[in-house]
Amino acid sequence: MITRTQVRQFLAVVDGGSFTRAAALINVTQPTLSTGVGELEKHLGTKLFIREKRRIQLTEAGAKFLVHARKIQREFRLAEDETVKSSLPQKAIKLGVLESIASHILEPIIADYQSQQHDNPLSLLEGNVSELQSALAKGRIDAAVTISPANISAGRIIPLFEEPYLLMASSRHRIADRPIVSPEEVSSETMIARRSCELLAETSKFFTSHGARPPFSLRSPHDDRVMAMVRANLGITVAPRSHQNKGVSAIQLEGFLHDRTIALVLGDSWMRKFGSDHVLVESIKQNLELSAAIS
């Protein structure tokens, strides 16, 4: 059986032009090299070199074997490179996700990324705006899909879409077909509190300032649960437009003129570790922009 050592020794003689230079190229003694080439010739049953005093030449058989030897060496190196690459620790991407981002918007992003070929496994960290900003500043996450902050340089913020906060009600609710309602009109309606809402305090103050102190049927940090209960007509709530789904109507609340800009915020180390054209960046941009266009 031909060994890689024999192939390496043969190529060293070809490239070095002599056994003396070849031995120096691969850091072995000349007798060791000569023995190795001799064993290769014996295995093949033919001479590979014409040995002269000052130089060597390939025989016809040697020239033919050279073509295969080069291919064998390339394959060995390719196998080594691929093995080393696969054994290197993968750089995991830690992505922060604003807890009030609707699941139906987040799901296609993750599904798209997971379906593609890449070297970076993904893990998610949920949090509110301040928690995600803190995690970015401390390097605990690499990037975040969150409300666009005002205290980060523009080069690290990729705006995705804007959306207003609206009143959400079941499509069976009495106000479902109204384009706009006043806070007084819903002051006696049962409400559901979204504890994940960035504007929870502002929403409460708004209703209170209009003399409305509605009863609450549910207070939950889980937006999927809240919207399911809105759809079931357990109560109404205030939420970003992207939370509207089948069976839920979105209505403008008169005088409540708040909106938010969702952006991808890159941490300090993102460019060094992953680069601006990383597949995850493109997946987030395409899917969130598409979701915003559809909504």
pLDDT tens across 84-107, in order?
Answer: 555 545 678 999 999 999 999 899
Distance CA 193, CA 218 (A): 6
Asked whether residue 239 carries a pLDDT value surpassing 60, the answer given is yes
Distance CA 74, CA 80 (A): 10
DSSP state of 236: B
Least confident of 14-23, 226-235, 246-255: 14-23
Which pLDDT score, from 0 to 100, does residue 294 have?
46
How many whole angstroms from its chain centre is CA 100? Answer: 20
What mean pLDDT do residues 153-157 have?
A: 67
Asked whether residue 278 carries a pLDDT value surpassing 90, the answer given is no
What mean pLDDT do residues 266-279 have?
A: 81
What mean pLDDT do residues 269-282 have?
A: 81
Distance CA 121, CA 286 (A): 20
Which pLDDT score, from 0 to 100, does residue 213 have?
84
Asked whether residue 134 carries a pLDDT value surpassing 70, the answer given is yes
DSSP 40-89: HHHHHTS--EEE-SS-EEE-HHHHHHHHHHHHHHHHHHHHHHHHHHHHSP
What mean pLDDT do residues 97-118 have?
A: 88
Distance CA 198, CA 262 (A): 12
Which pLDDT score, from 0 to 100, does residue 89 have?
53
Residue with tokens 């990729």: 158
Residue 151: CB atoms within 10 A of its CB come to: 6
Instruction: Please report which confidence band the pLDDT of residue 178 belongs to, taking 50, 70 and 90 as the band edges.
Output: very high
Between 182 and 72, name the one with better pLDDT. 182
- Give the residues across from 212 on adjacent strands: none
Which pLDDT score, from 0 to 100, does residue 78 have?
78
Distance CA 261, CA 263 (A): 6
Residue with tokens 């809105």: 230
Is residue 176 a contact partner of residue 248, using CB atoms and an 8 Å limit? no
| Helices (H), ranges, the chain | 4-16, 19-25, 30-44, 60-87, 103-114, 129-137, 200-209, 223-231, 270-273, 279-294
Which pLDDT score, from 0 to 100, does residue 132 have?
93
Closest CA relative to residue 242, chosen from 295, 166, 179, 172: 295
Q: How far apart are the first and last CA of the chain?
A: 67
Asked whether residue 155 carries a pLDDT value surpassing 70, the answer given is no
Which pLDDT score, from 0 to 100, does residue 96 have?
95
Which pLDDT score, from 0 to 100, does residue 176 have?
95
Output the pTM of the full model: 0.66
Q: How far is CA 131 from CA 124, 128, 148, 157, 197, in A?
A: 13, 5, 14, 17, 14
What mean pLDDT do residues 66-90 have?
A: 73
Distance CA 63, CA 55 (A): 16
Which pLDDT score, from 0 to 100, does residue 90 have?
65
Q: How many C-alpha atoms does 140 have within 13 Å on its Cβ side?
A: 13
DSSP state of 185: G
Size of the chain in residues: 295
| Average confidence score pLDDT of the chain | 87
Using a 10 angstrom Cβ sphere, with 0-12 exposed, 13-18 middle and 19 or more buried, the burial of residue 107 is: exposed
% of the chain exceeding 90 in pLDDT? 46
Asked whether residue 159 carries a pLDDT value surpassing 80, the answer given is yes
Asked whether residue 203 carries a pLDDT value surpassing 80, the answer given is yes
